[in-house]
Chains A and B, each alone.
Chain A
């Protein structure tokens, strides 16, 4: 079954000072944000934490399927 979204958009807002906001964050949205690192490779701590959580879960699922 496919989701019956009536407002299926995620929103990314970038302020002039470079701050990035995401509403309706799906995994692909996070992956896009992760690719938008600052000039010194900086990435938001919360974003890093969320991506790490998802990757840890991927590993757990792979282990279970072995």
Chain B
């Protein structure tokens, strides 16, 4: 039996993005079925390069069955997923049959939630909706995303996702351009945060990075206080230099120990709703 959100109209609209892709704000319009590739390099097959039960997410979400999809629309130089994030050919195809068996396995292992992660799951949204549409015993679904998606993509997620887990990485466009290769970052992500807060539970994450306290963390806290003061806010302090971060001076080192305490104090003083 199909989930109530999984109408043929919605699934069909989602599939259309494989013919002219407007899933992320690169808005490349690539026909992924005919061999065209946008900045994410993805074709029309979503691939899972890893799935397992993890307990390192926010405590209200664990144990969670994480499905890691290869491919991403961003190019963050510090990406922890490294090559898996940027090569959408990695992993095995996400088919409904594979997914349904995997979900049953996850349930048998005690998973309370199911989380789509990447890379960036949004670039594979049509295949994900197709896989979830008639999946029996689907646990609450978490959408872990860079929030660089379009309003059209977010509309397709409405009803299919229970918790939006947003990576609010940068507090200004210059850092986003330099470290992730994207434009209009703040405008796009903050628009999506507001919209997502209206269609599901929202947890906003910020990964503290060395050298980005004043330019990124402070503006993020300020924006949260002014626009989403009751949303859950999660400060991640596990930054280690990965992927190409060694080529960027300020992020080529671990986070100094005192920064996390300072960040939590600042967010607490701003009245944000901190979760761990």
Chain A residues engaging chain B, CB cutoff 8 angstroms = 1-8, 13, 15, 17, 19, 21-27, 30, 45-46, 49-50, 53-54, 57, 61
The answer to whether B50 touches A6, judged by C-beta atoms less than 8 angstroms apart, is: yes
The reply to whether A26 and B52 form a contact with Cβ atoms under 8 Å apart is yes
Which secondary structure dominates where chain B touches chain A? Answer: mixed
A-B Cβ contacts below 8 A, count: 71
**Complex Cα spacing A18 to B270, Å:** 31
Residues of B within 8 A of A (CB): 48-56, 59-60, 62-63, 80, 84, 90-92, 101-102, 104-105, 110, 112, 238, 240, 254, 257, 276
Q: Please state if B90 and A26 are interface contacts (CB–CB under 8 Å).
A: no
Out of A1, A6, A54, which one reaches B55, CB within 8 Å? A54
Give 5 CB contacts A-B under 8 Å: A19-B257, A26-B53, A27-B55, A49-B59, A53-B62
| Contact with B63, one of A15, A45, A54 (Cβ below 8 angstroms) | A54
**Chain B, residue nearest A18 (CB):** B257
Cβ–Cβ contact A5 & B80, under 8 A: no
A13 touches B240 (CB 8 A): yes
Taken together as a complex, chains A and B put the C-alpha atoms of A6 and B53 apart, in Å, by 15
Q: Are B105 and A23 in contact (CB under 8 A)?
A: no
- With a cutoff of 8 Å between Cβ atoms, the chain A residues found around residue B54 in the complex are 24-26
Are B105 and A1 in touch, CB under 8 angstroms? Answer: yes
Contact between B102 and A3, CB atoms less than 8 A apart = yes
